[in-house]
Structures are given as structure tokens and as C-alpha cells.
Amino acid sequence: MRQALSHRSWCAEYPGNPSNERLEFLGDAVLGWVVADIAYHRYTDLPEGKLTDLRKAVVNATALAQMADSVGLGESILLGKGEAAAGGRRKPSILSDTLEAVIGAVYVDGGPDSVRHVLTGLLGHRLDDVVDRLAVLDHKTALQELTARLFDRPPVYLIREEGPDHEKRFFASVMIGSARWGEGEGRSKKQAEQAAAREACARLQEEHPAAHA
């Protein structure tokens, strides 16, 4: 664990101590595997694409830094004087890398069962929260599945934009064949398309309840 907490800036000031970089490498791989394993067994109704989205949402530098911060990991990291003075204990990159190193250390010391136990507790409600967001936000995927069942064709999105670059708004219309089923707007193309898909899904589910069921 001491090695897992040893940042290279500290090792440079105290020669002879190995940094946490090798454990970080191992922890990154272990984390991806354990999250995939937990997601596979916990969310048995999620398709492959959603499982991939779920893993990406929790196995990234931002999410790992938030998890590290939630358990106060920054206070335990061994940093060089310069890095510590520069606020290194709060830097997302250092927090996320150190958490991966800790995960690697748990795996080395305790094996697969121990690291799975630790990560299950650490991830806690985060996986459930991400799954809920995926279910609510991914209207485009839901619409594509609906149109495939009902019409055997994909939806087509028409985009227009208005306003200057710093205040641009995007407007989307979703077409199924020659019929317009939904419209939406947002600050990005993706937001506009999701809004249009949400409206189209609602209309399709209202007119074709059997397909939704």
C-alpha cells in the first residue's frame, strides 16, 4: 500500500523508493475487468452496448478522481514538496492514478475476491445511478429499436442551427420515412437529437402500445 501511495515526485526526493506507476498499470486493467464482471452479473437485462457505456462512465479519470476524493485518498498520497505545494492532492490526474495503484495493490495482496469486494463497496450506488441515467437519456437508441420493429427502417435526423458561434442553438427533426415524428432543440446537435427522439418515442409508444410492451 505504501508503494501504491508513492507518487513519482516523492520518489524523486527519496531515491530508492519505487513509485506507484507499475501498480497503476495493473490497477487500470483490474478495474476494467472487475467493473465489467460486476455489470455483467448485476444488470442481466442490459445489452452489450449499454454495458460498454456503463463501464466507460465509471472507468475514466474524472469518475475515478471523484471516487478517490470521496474516501479522502488525497490526504494519504506521498507527494514531493513542489507537487504538494501546487495542490497535487486535489489534482484529478493524481487522484485517479493513485486510486488505480491502490486497486492494483489490493489485487496483488489479496487477489481477485478482495479487489472485487473493495470495488463493489467503492462503486456502491454509482453503477445504479449510471444505469438510471442511461435508461433515461438514451432516447436515440430506444427510437432506433422501436422503428426497427415497427417500420423496419432507421430514423433520420435533420439538423439546422441558428445564432452566432458562442450562442448557437441546434434544432432537430426526426423523420421515419416521409413522416416527421419528433422535434427538439438544444445547445448541441446531440442534445437536439435526443430531444427529438424523446418526442418521437412518446408518440410511437402512444400510437403503437403493443410494440412498446
Q: Does residue 210 surpass a pLDDT of 70?
A: no
Residue 207 has a CB neighbour count (10 Å cut-off) of 11
Q: List residues with catalytic annotation.
A: 28, 100
3-state SS, residue 190? helix
Helices then strands, each counted (H, E), the chain: 10, 3
- The overall pTM is greater than 0.85: no
The whole-number pLDDT of residue 213 equals 46
Q: Does residue 189 surpass a pLDDT of 80?
A: yes
The whole-number pLDDT of residue 145 equals 85
Which long-range CB contacts under 8 A does 153-158 form with residues at least 24 apart? 153/177, 155/181, 155/197, 155/200, 157/193, 157/196
Tens digits of residue pLDDT in 12-39: 999 999 999 999 999 999 999 999 999 9
Q: From the CA atom positions of the chain, what is the Rg in Å?
A: 23
* Reported confidence tier of residue 129, pLDDT bands at 50, 70, 90: confident
- Return the higher-pLDDT residue of 195 and 46: 195
> 63: closest CA among 32, 20, 105?
32
Tens digits of residue pLDDT in 33-63: 999 999 999 888 788 888 888 898 888 888 8
Tens digits of residue pLDDT in 78-127: 999 999 999 999 999 999 999 999 999 999 999 999 999 999 988 878 88
The identity of residue 148, as a single letter, is A
The whole-number pLDDT of residue 127 equals 87
* Reported confidence tier of residue 8, pLDDT bands at 50, 70, 90: very high
Domains in the chain, start-ordered, CATH in brackets? 8-136 (1.10.1520.10), 139-212 (3.30.160.20)
